Chain A
Amino acid sequence: MDISTLLQSILNGFSSAGIYILVALGLTLVLSIMNIVQLAHGEIYMIGAYGVYYITTSLGLNFFLALVISTLLMGGLGIVLERLCFRPLRGQFDRAAIASIGLILILQNVVLSIAGGDPRSYMSPFTGVLKILGVAISWDRLSIVLFGFGLVAALFLFIRMTKTGQAMLAISQDRDGAALQGINIDRISMAAMFLGCALAAIAGALVGAIFSVSPTMGGFALMKGIAVIILGGLGSIPGAVVGGLIIGLIDGIMPILTTTHIAGLIGFGAIIIILLFRPQGISGHE
């Protein structure tokens, strides 16, 4: 193993981490504000990618415009889902989980019937390689790192600096306490679903640009996202970032030491070991 391979795989780790974090942030926002696990989160990610595919190939728009449109559409879908499906089930953890499993089936099959089961692909706008100290870094991977961490920074600022962001934090820490300050829980839940779904759509669109899109691509994202939020601490935003980095780097680096399958095993093994010592997750409370 030479240094170039190692750096390359570290970069891969960071780009996986970027995706995992984007997915996990949406899950954790919805979880902490609405008290539900939105298991169809991976399907939003998948449809976000298909959105970009159709907008770029059928309408001929460029990738960035397609990304913006698809992200806003998925955010809108999030608001519709909150209103119609999750608001009546808020706080009812098990029922909401079952409803979201139903959503997985519906959304997957709608996409399957429209787009078919074959993987589709579209061109990444980021092409070519960047050479640093003799190490070739592909722009498409690097773009995910920049996008992912840029969005994380933006989300941190949003939560810290805006009233809506502070209201989200407040609800996650004490729901009735927040309501008694005049915070409209319904409206903040809608904002959380919008943000969560928009982040998932961006993640899906970025992954679709590197690999391909298929109706079942969401399962992987959901699995990683859930692993990340459990490792990081349920409902914790910094936890989602740290957890995403750990799992992303394990996924990036382990394959060069062993096979991909063993690497997956080591990844989840590491999570189990960390949770044995810190059951509440890395930055979880209680």
Chain B
Amino acid sequence: MLKLKDVTVRYETAEAVRGVSIEVPEGSVISVIGANGAGKSTILKAISGLVPLYSGEIEFSGQKINRMAVNQIVDLGVVQVPEGRRLFPYMSVMANIKLGAYLRRDKRGMMADMEEVFRLFPRLKERSNQKAGSLSGGEQQMLAIGRGLMARPKLLMMDEPSLGLAPVVIDLLADTIRTINQSGITVLLVEQNASLVTRVSQKCYVIEVGRVVLEGNVQELMADDSVRRAFLG
């Protein structure tokens, strides 16, 4: 469904991503794992069109997307739940959720999806009139995911959703990711939390200083001591 071919991204001073190739088959949960600053977030930013590619190509459902504008990429169904949530802190939970459906015109479908989001995250319904910035970290992550789902994504990319969450909340997150995937949404997960990755995804790419150094079945990679020690602590 999504193919990154030899993608390189350069910032002014350095190469953040070097010749990365990743493939995300339809219906799967694929993870990208690596330490801080390894270039994981840059990969997602490049897919969403927030940073330009220096070289390489990104394809979604057979269509080249690496020169498209951010909003066009969202319109194709490639939706990102960004690192740090990037909510609109002074707007209500409800307003945040509605903005997730910004490009949609089907009122009825939107209402149905909103019900679905509230069923998935009942806490958000209770707090729908509260300002997003006043939510707890876990609730904010739920809101960010709920907002992403409102776009009716084909591919949902999540950037370190476990960051700053308590272990109990991470369990809930794992369930949520599985539920989302079972509803037919392909997931690309960027993480540092190895336990979350092993619980939800099938295939995993290990990134180190902007390169893919290892890829393969999650169980096998995690069984490998050197991988665990080097990347996952």
* Residues of chain A having any CB pair with chain B under 8 Å: 163, 166-167, 169-170, 173-174, 176-185, 285
Contact = CB atoms under 8 A, between A and B. Distances in A.
B69 interface: yes
**Chain A contact residues: helix, strand, loop or mixed:** helix
B50 A163 contact: no
B50 A179 contact: yes
A179 B70 contact: yes
A43 B131 CA distance: 38
B98 A182 contact: no
A166 to B, nearest CB: 6
A174 B98 contact: no
Interface stretch (B81-89, B175-183, B184-192): B81-89
Interface residues of B, number: 25
Contacts of A170: 88, 91, 99
B71 A177 contact: no
B151 interface: yes
B75 interface: yes
Contacts, number: 64
A157 to B, nearest CB: 15
A173 B91 contact: yes
B88 A184 contact: no
Contacts of B80: 180
Contacts of B102: 163, 167, 181-183
Given A167-B99, A174-B86, A181 B91 contact: no
Given A174-B88, A181-B103, 20 more contacts: A166-B99, A167-B99, A169-B88, A170-B88, A176-B82, A176-B86, A177-B85, A180-B79, A180-B80, A181-B99, A181-B100, A182-B70, A182-B71, A182-B75, A182-B102, A182-B151, A183-B102, A184-B69, A185-B70, A285-B90
B147 interface: yes
A179 B48 CA distance: 9
A180 B98 CA distance: 13
A173 B75 contact: no
B169 to A, nearest CB: 21
Interface string B47-82: 010100000000000000000011100110001101
